Chains A and B, each alone.
Chain A
């Protein structure tokens, strides 16, 4: 299992691995939004948490089809399926590797990009916290979508259509945590809902992902 994490991280860091792709996309969104909506700081700081969340979500979506497609193309997915690793373990590890290379850098860079959007000072910690709790769910749900569409040529569109509706609850509660945090309201309820979604998907979805992956490998 650890070997698979190390391999996936190493592949992501090497040339063509797409490590900076999500981060660069996130930067582009946060830089362009102020140009689009105008420089009014009150308006920007009002929409900042939502923009950061949408940016993170789309950046996550960008790298989803790579999770299994590359392993499927070069045949290593077949070999992994016949290896001693359980398929549920393989998909969980793949989701973890995706989160470490995409979700985690987004969480860590969010405070920096928040400055570009006039995110209020007290909002930084809430945005980071909500992203830290919410982005694992994005990776796990995305892994499920990637497992569903593995083997389809140009499956990216179908993947987006399948995965985006499943991302909506995470987006709603994630952005709500940040908004309430900034306004000084209680964040307990959306935070618990966000955590519930994340832990629920981590606990249940790998089984579904492993199942559809086995069907797709036939």
Chain B
């Protein structure tokens, strides 16, 4: 389960933001993406997760191998914690939510509606969803937002267990998780506006699609 990114150029709203990206994520490894706000980390993660097409280059990974966690957790406020998790478990074809409830200390909250949780608890529930997907490659966008120190440790433990089980994780974050992770700074790959001018006007329709 290796994720390989080859000479990738990505765009946001038709304007290239990052170009010439090269990296490989092996099974059992974590890769931390760093870079200033607005440089295109979220766009990169969305491209890798398949939500938007790259301008050029390739994202190579086995099909149906990635679990994506975005800024928003995708929770339904009127469903309980257990119902939210059970829904995603059904969608991904894994039946048990027990490990996810225990891994993020959600067991005492399991009958509470997700709308009544605090921001940190919602985030924990959103991250617990990763455990029920059963997918080997985690694509995480700022996973520790609104988590306290204890919950960050829970999350780091979950990632460690995932890596030990042969999974891998691509994480965009600004804090130190205490993981054995490689760091990839996307700052130097910022697209040069002039060099991409031609390719943008050549594919002008892209701006409208």
Contacts and interface: CB of A to CB of B under 8 A. Distances in A.
B78 A16 contact: yes
Interface string B11-53: 0000000000000000000000000000000000010011111
Interface of A: 2-4, 6-7, 10-11, 14-17, 74-76, 78-85, 215, 217-218
Contacts of A3: 86-87, 90-91
Given A3-B90, A81-B51, A75 B73 contact: yes
A76 B50 CA distance: 15
Q: How many B residues are at the interface, by size bracket? A: 20 to 34
B176 interface: no
Contact of A11 (B46, B79, B90): B79
A79 B78 contact: no
Interface string B47-79: 001111100000000001011111111111111
Given A217-B52, A218-B51, A79 B74 contact: yes
Nearest to A85: B91
Contacts of B50: 81-82
B149 interface: no
Interface of B: 46, 49-53, 64, 66-79, 83, 86-88, 90-93, 129, 209
A78 B75 CA distance: 12
Contact of B68 (A6, A79, A85): A79
A74 B52 CA distance: 19
B119 to A, nearest CB: 14
Q: Which 4 A-B pairs have the closest CB atoms?
A: A75-B72, A3-B90, A76-B74, A14-B78
Nearest to B87: A7
A80 B90 CA distance: 12
